[in-house]
Amino acid sequence: MNIQTQVKRRHFLIGSAGTMAAAAVGGSVTAQNATDPLPEYVAWKDPDDFIIHSKQTLETKRAVQGTELITPSDELYIRNNLPAPSEDIVADRDTWEIEINGVANPGKMTVGDMKTLGVETVVCVLQCSGNGRAFFDHETSGSQWSVGAAGNVVWTGVPVRAVIEAMGGADADAVFLTGTGGEEIPDGLPPETIQVERSVPKAAMDQAILAWEMNGEPLPLAHGGPLRLVIPGYYGVNNVKYIKRLAMTVEESPNKIQQTSYRVRPVGEKGDPSQPSMYEMVVKSWITGPLMDAATGKVQIHGVAMGGVSGLDKIEVSTDGGQNWAEAQFLGPDLGPYAWRPFVMITELSEGTHMLASRATNEAGDSQPETFPPNERGYGNNGWRAHAVDVTVS
C-alpha cells in the first residue's frame, strides 16, 4: 500500500452541476443535523457555517475559511473544556477582577484598571491542539477536527508585561506564567481534575496580552469574555478564557489539564509531565478551494498558511500529489509572524482527478513534512499529504 492510500483525505467532485456533496463543504461528517439550532451561548453564529461536534465544540467548515485575512467572529470555531459561564459576567465588563500572584505586590486588578496601563493589538492564529486529528489513521479520542479548529483573530488588550510591572515585577525565581480560568466547577469534582489552568514558559510573557476585545468588538462570552489570556503562537488551550488568576510561578500547575492532558505521547501511552506539552504551534497550511464548482482550464487554488512562531517565507502548491511544486502568491498584507496568510495560485486543471496540496515554509526554515507521526491524542498534525484534497474535474 503506498502512502497516498494510508492517509485520510477528502474527495471532491467539481466541474458539473449537482456534484457537490455535503461532505465537500464540511470536510467531515456533522455530529448534528445542519438545521439543528446552535447552543444558546453561540446562537449569534450561523449553524450553516459549522460542523457541530458537541455543544462545546463547533468546527468551521473548510469552504467557509476561503481567502479571508481575518476570521469573522461569527465564523470562528468553538472549543470549550467546560461549559461557558453565565452571561452575567459580561454585564459590566470593566468590573471583572483577576488576582495577580507571584509578583512583588500581589493583589487584584479590574479590567477597568488594566485599561489605564497600556493597550496593544496583535493578530494571531487561534488553533486547537487537535486541529487535523481526523486525518490520523489510528483511533483518537476527542473531537475529530479536520481543518476548522483554527482562525485568524485580531486581539486587543493590555500587555501582560505591563500588568506584572504594575504589580512590582515578577518574583525572581519564577519560571512559568500560569493562568486560571473562571468557569464554574461542577459540584463534587476536585477542581484540579477539571479546572482550566495552564502554565507556559515565562518567556511567553513578552508577547502575551490580556484581551478584552476580539476583532474590534467586546470579547464575546463564547470566546472567553470579558477577559482572556492570549499568547500569540501558542495552541488554544494555553489562551485561558474567563481568566480569574494570573501568576508567575516556580512550578507548573498541578492540574490535570497541565500535568497529563495535552501531552504528546506514543499511541497507547498515558500522559505524564515528562512528555512534551502543547505549547508553540508549528508551520502549517491547507487548501480551502476549489471544493465546489470549477471547470477545466484555468482554476484559482486558494488556502491559508501559518508559520507557527515565525513569519512565513513561502507557500507552494502541488496539483499532482507532491510530485511537482510551484510557488503560490500570498494575498493581502503581512499582519505579523503569528497571523496566517491567505494564498492563491492560478493554474490549469485538466479533466481527471488531481490531488491538491500545499506546503508552507517559515522564516526559520521549517517546512511542513509530508506526514506527521501518530500520537495518542492526535495533536499537532501538520503533514501536507493528509491535508491535501482529491479533486475530480469532469
- Establish if 58 belongs to a structural domain: no
Please check whether residues 194 and 336 belong to one and the same domain.
no
Please check whether residues 224 and 288 belong to one and the same domain.
no
Please check whether residues 255 and 292 belong to one and the same domain.
no
257, containing H or E segment: helix 256-259
**pLDDT score at 197:** 98
Please check whether residues 292 and 379 belong to one and the same domain.
yes
The CATH number that applies at residue 236 is 3.90.420.10
- Establish if 73 belongs to a structural domain: no
Beta carbons of 15 and 296 less than 8 angstroms apart = yes
pLDDT surpassing 80 at residue 350: yes
- Establish if 40 belongs to a structural domain: no
Q: Which residues, 6+ apart, have CB-to-CB distance to 187 below 8 Å?
A: none
**pLDDT score at 18:** 29
Mean pLDDT of 32-46: 81
- Establish if 308 belongs to a structural domain: yes
Q: Which residue range forms the structural domain that includes residue 217? A: 78-259
Please check whether residues 299 and 254 belong to one and the same domain.
no
pLDDT tens-digit series, residues 192-225: 999 999 999 999 999 999 999 999 999 999 999 9
Q: Which of 259, 290, 323 is the last residue of a domain?
A: 259
pLDDT tens-digit series, residues 154-174: 999 999 999 999 999 999 999
What is the CB neighbour count within 10 angstroms for residue 19? 14
Could you tell me how far CA 300 lies from the centroid of its own chain?
26
- What's the whole-model pTM score? 0.93
Mean pLDDT of 343-362: 95
Please check whether residues 19 and 135 belong to one and the same domain.
no
- Establish if 273 belongs to a structural domain: no
Mean pLDDT of 112-135: 98
* Residue 175: burial class (beta carbons within 10 Å; 0-12, 13-18, 19+): middle
pLDDT tens-digit series, residues 260-310: 999 999 999 999 999 999 999 999 999 999 876 556 678 999 999 999 999
Mean pLDDT of 139-166: 97
Q: Which of 58-62, 89-93, 296-300 has the lowest mean pLDDT?
A: 296-300
- Establish if 70 belongs to a structural domain: no
Please check whether residues 109 and 217 belong to one and the same domain.
yes
Closest C-alpha to 93, from 220, 178, 179, 237: 220
Please check whether residues 251 and 289 belong to one and the same domain.
no
The secondary structure of 93-143 as a DSSP string is GGG-EEEEESBSS-EEEEHHHHTTT--EEEEEEEE-TTTTGGG-SS---S-
Number of domains in the chain: 2
User: C-alpha grid cell for residue 231?
Assistant: 499568547
Give the C-alpha separation, 67 to 70, whole Å: 9
The CATH number that applies at residue 303 is 2.60.40.650
Please check whether residues 194 and 117 belong to one and the same domain.
yes
- Across the beta sheet with 50-54, the strand order is 50-54, 57-60, 78-79
Please check whether residues 253 and 287 belong to one and the same domain.
no
Please check whether residues 181 and 106 belong to one and the same domain.
yes
Please check whether residues 300 and 182 belong to one and the same domain.
no
- Establish if 53 belongs to a structural domain: no
